[in-house]
Amino acid sequence: MTSGRHFLQIPGPTNIPDRVLRAMDRPIPDHRGPELPALVHAVVDGLRQVFQTRSGEIVIYPGSGTGAWEASIVNTLNPGDRALAFNIGHFSHLYAECARRFGVVVDEIDLPWSRGVSADLVRERLAGDVGRTYRAVLVVHNETSTGVTTNLRAIREAMRAADHPALLLVDVVSALGSIDFRFDEWDVDVALTGSQKGLMLPPGLAILCVGPRALAAGGQGRSPRYFFDWQPVVEEMRRGYFPYTPATLMLYGLREALAMLLEEGLPNVLARHARLAEAVRRAVRAWGLAMLCEDPSEYSQSLTAVVVPEHVDSDAVLRAAERLNLSLGTGLGRLKGRVFRVGHLGALNDLEVVATVAGMEMALRMAAVNVALGAGVATCQEFLMAQHLTPQR
Ligand SMILES: Cc1ncc(COP(=O)(O)O)c(C=O)c1O
């Protein structure tokens, strides 16, 4: 099936708006020339608005979320330092593993892969750390493998309640630009992401927002680092340049993507994600299937992990979807075969979600899951229509 567009509904990379593609379709500028500072300053300004920070330092590398993990660790922690982490899914486990590779002693608490990190548990663990030995708490805001969002505000409050000085390092890879995230208000020390999800760009950039305590920790750090040392990047970016050859065309795309997000208005962007996510969840319920996420207050607004019946291999649903020109996300790690994931983030609208739900419904039936054709689509349509009929304030 080659005509029409491919439905890329994995939880990132996401679809790239034509405006962003056009902004990138241009000659390469001289990255040491006069054009760069205005571009860099616009990108920094836009990113600060999306991270909801006034003064957090923006750090950009050619890379991806994994590179951003590494940067967040080597700049804030030393070999032998202790960190507290929570295994609530594939990515939170890998983030802890990344820290371990750099000699950090990580206490990684095993939790169910269907819930977020409990703030009570954070408070308990930190209060019990009498010698204040933890240097950092690692949290993934939105666990992309499970479709579960952790309440970061509550995590920061728990850290305050325990009166613990650990840094709060947060992975917002599948949250930023899709789920409310407030760097300043929640007093986050480092937030990190990649370009390919809510920011609507191709894969290719690692982006961090760094607060003053984390910057200070970086200055005294002993972890070996060169490319990922953020100090020279911060200094050069303030002048509008980089200490390496930047991914210049991606920066043009990023400037355009940020302009689009801010034109729509961040609150509207987040509300759109919440609406589309709810439409998908209603369809899943109409099929008689369950979300992996157990607590509705922790439902992800950027993706949904759908549990398939026991006799079904979720990858069979994916294979059927591919025949319909629809890509869905596979079950990761221990969830292989048990769930499939649908991304509803980035540049996406109501009718694209209705079509995606229709495709999922067909793929489920093709994979011998007994769902009634039309059930999910109708429920999704009803919900979205009602949203449009509700008078706007
Ligand atoms: C929450 C989360 N963290 C980290 C990563 C790793 O990022 P990347 O694949 O861009 O290296 C991903 C990738 O999907 C992710 O979803």
Q: Does domain 7-13+265-389 have CATH number 3.30.1330.10?
A: no
Return the DSSP state at 141.
Answer: S
Of 228, 229, 210, nearest in space to 67 by CA: 228
DSSP notation for 315-349: HHHHHHHHHTTEE-BPPPGGGTTTEEEEE--SS--
We find that the CATH architecture of domain 18-263 is 3-Layer(aba) Sandwich (3.40)
Q: Do domains 7-13+265-389 and 18-263 have the same CATH topology?
A: no
How many angstroms is it from 11 CA to the middle of ligand 1? 10
Dig out the tokens for 45 from the structure: 């300004």
Q: How far is the CA of 383 from the centre of ligand 1 (A)?
A: 31
343 CB less than 6 Å from ligand 1?
Answer: no
Alpha carbon separation from 85 to 40, 137, 147, 180 (Å, rounded): 33, 6, 18, 22
Q: Where are the domains of the chain?
A: 7-13+265-389, 18-263
- What distance in angstroms lies between residue 231's CA and the mean position of ligand 1's atoms? 24
Q: Which atom of ligand 1 is nearest to the CA of 67?
A: 11
Ligand 1 centroid distance, CA of 204 (Å):
12
Q: What is the pLDDT of residue 219?
A: 80
SS3 assignment, position 129: coil
Ligand 1 center from residue 28 Cα (angstroms): 28
Kindly give the distance from the C-alpha atom of residue 128 to the centroid of ligand 1, in angstroms, as a whole number. 31
What pLDDT does 220 receive?
A: 82
CA distances from 60 to 22, 169, 325 (A): 22, 17, 34
Q: What is the pLDDT of residues 322-338, one digit of tens each?
A: 999 999 999 999 999 99
pLDDT in tens, 45-95: 999 999 999 989 999 999 999 999 999 999 999 999 999 999 999 999 999
pLDDT of residue 3: 87
5 Cβ contact partners less than 8 Å away, ≥ 6 residues apart: none
Instruction: Indicate which residue's Cα is closest to atom 5 of ligand 1.
Output: 65
- The residue whose C-alpha atom lies closest to atom 9 belonging to ligand 1 is 65
For ligand 1, whether the C-beta of 144 sits within 6 Å is yes
pLDDT at 132: 97
Q: Given the CA of residue 142, which atom of ligand 1 is nearest to it?
A: 1
Cβ of residue 57 lying under 6 Å from some atom of ligand 1: no
How many angstroms is it from 91 CA to the middle of ligand 1? 7
8 A C-beta contact, residue 43 and residue 254 = yes
Q: Tell me, using a 6 A CB cutoff, whether residue 140 lines ligand 1.
A: yes
Q: Is 171 in the pocket of ligand 1 (CB under 6 A)?
A: yes
Residue-level pLDDT, tens digit, the chain, 393 residues: 578 999 999 999 999 999 999 999 999 999 999 999 999 999 999 999 999 999 899 999 999 999 999 999 999 999 999 999 999 999 999 999 999 999 999 999 999 999 999 999 999 999 999 999 999 999 999 999 999 999 999 999 999 999 999 999 999 999 999 999 999 999 999 999 999 999 999 999 999 999 999 999 988 889 999 999 999 999 999 999 999 999 999 999 999 999 999 999 999 999 999 999 999 999 999 999 999 999 999 999 999 999 999 999 999 999 999 999 999 999 999 999 999 999 999 999 999 999 999 999 999 999 999 999 999 999 999 999 999 898 665
Å from CA of 74 to ligand 1 middle: 18
| Cβ neighbours of residue 242 closer than 8 Å, sequence gap 6 or more | 31, 40, 60, 233, 236
Q: Report the DSSP beta bridge partners of residue 208.
A: 59, 192
pTM over 0.85: yes
Going from the Cα of 90 to the center of ligand 1, the distance in angstroms, rounded, reads: 10
Which of 64, 93, 145, 173 to probe ligand 1 with, by most ligand atoms within 8 A of CB?
Answer: 173
Name which of 171, 193, 184, 197 is nearest 117 in CA terms. Answer: 171
User: Angle 344-369-300 (CA atoms, 0-180°, nearest 5)?
Assistant: 25
Give the per-residue pLDDT at 1: 54
Which of 66, 139, 143, 170 is the best mutation target for the ligand 1 pocket, counting ligand atoms within 8 Å of the beta carbon and taking the most? 66
